[in-house]
Amino acid sequence: QKEVEQDPGPLSVPEGAIVSLNCTYSNSAFQYFMWYRQYSRKGPELLMYTYSSGNKEDGRFTAQVDKSSKYISLFIRDSQPSDSATYLCAMNNAGNMLTFGGGTRLMVKP
Amino acid sequence: SAVISQKPSRDICQRGTSLTIQCQVDSQVTMMFWYRQQPGQSLTLIATANQGSEATYESGFVIDKFPISRPNLTFSTLTVSNMSPEDSSIYLCSVTLSYEQYFGPGTRLTVT
Cβ contact, residue pair A42, B41, below 8 Å: no
Q: Is A75 on the interface with B (CB under 8 A)?
A: no
Provide φ and ψ at A103, rounded to 5°.
95, 140
pLDDT classification of B63: cutoffs 50, 70, 90 = very high
Give A36: exposed, middle or buried? Use CB within 10 Å, 0-12, 13-18, 19+: buried
Distance from CA of A103 to the nearest CA of B (A): 6
User: Is pLDDT of A96 > 70?
Assistant: no
Question: Cα–Cα distance between B112 and B107 in angstroms, integer?
Answer: 16
Question: Quick count: other Cβ atoms within 10 Å of Cβ A108?
Answer: 20
pLDDT in tens, B7-54: 999 999 999 999 999 999 999 998 899 999 998 888 999 999 988 888
CB nearest to A43's CB, from B31, B92, B100? B92
Question: Phi and psi (nearest 5°) for B86?
Answer: -65, -15
Q: In whole angstroms, what is the distance from residue B77 CA to residue B20 CA? A: 6
Q: Quick count: other Cβ atoms within 10 Å of Cβ B67? A: 16
Reported as a pLDDT band with limits 50, 70 and 90, residue A54 is confident
Query: Which of these ranges, A92-96, A98-102, B30-34, has the smallest mean pLDDT?
Result: A92-96
Give dist(CA B7, CA B107) in Å, integer.
Answer: 7
User: Cβ of B61 under 8 Å from any chain A Cβ?
Assistant: no
pLDDT given for residue B39 in this prediction: 83
Give the residue on A whose Cα is nearest the Cα of B92.
A43
